[in-house]
Amino acid sequence: MTTSEPRTTAEAVEELRTVAHRWADGRRGSTAQLIRAADRALWAGVDAPSLAPLAELLTVERDLAAELFGRVTDELGFGLPPADGGPGGLLLARWWAAEIAAGRLDPAEGAALIIDDIVEVHGAHEELTPMLDAVRALWSPRPPGPSTAETHARLTRAARELLTRIPDPRGAAE
């Protein structure tokens, strides 16, 4: 998340999406963060019916923030997976892969989320093999190692491969 105010609606939506990346796997940030992001999005002109109620929450109402943020992400079409990540976390892995492939999530950060929050918790599902193989190849001890651009390209290819292996629960292609 940036420290400066978003100047455009696109920047504000991107800020909300960044918050959603951190909330998707159940690791919740502060409700104050959600309220600030909603307020900034309103000022930038983002139109989602649940944004204003989220931005206007009082301290005593902060227990409503997570529910309202869920509505905002639905209204903005982020396509978050179910809170449990789906069977074996695969729907969450697919969502992160789609975010990587669309350029909305840094490939290295997304790969780390998939490895740490899916593979380490649920095991190395066959569907995740392309990402595991890409990460193993990039962590190889051969100096000098791939460039950042090469790393991002490999991880993005692996993310696209995951999208072909894990069916979209909505029945639509990314």
Q: Name which residue leads in pLDDT, 141 or 133.
A: 133
State the pLDDT at residue 164: 95
Supply the pTM of this predicted model: 0.72
Gyration radius from the chain CA atoms: 17
113: exposed, middle or buried (C-beta count within 10 Å: 0-12, 13-18, 19+)? buried
Q: What's residue 2's pLDDT?
A: 44
DSSP line for 112-130: HHHIIIIIHHH---GGGHH
Which of 81-90, 111-120, 137-146 holds the top average pLDDT?
111-120
Output the pLDDT for position 1: 43
CA–CA distance from 47 to each of 9, 17, 72, 73 (Å)?
9, 14, 10, 12
| DSSP 3-state of 140 | coil
Q: What mean pLDDT is predicted for residues 21-39?
A: 79
Mean pLDDT of the chain: 85
Is pLDDT larger for residue 134 or for residue 88?
134
Write the pLDDT tens digit of every residue in 143-159: 677 888 888 999 999 99
Q: What is the pLDDT of residue 86?
A: 79
143 conformational bin, left if phi > 0, alpha if psi -120 to 50, beta if neither: beta
Residue 172 in tokens: 């639509």
Q: Which of 70, 65, 33, 29 is nearest to 48 (CA)?
A: 70
More confident residue, 128 or 80: 128
Computed from CA positions of residues 41, 46, 51, 53, in that sequence, does the dihedral angle turn out positive or negative? positive
Domain map (residue ranges) of the chain: 9-75, 87-165
pLDDT digits (tens, 9 = 90+) for 63-88: 888 888 889 988 998 888 877 777 88
Query: What mean pLDDT comes out for the span 47-72?
Result: 86
- Residue 98 CB partners (closer than 8 Å, separation 6+): 79, 159, 163, 174
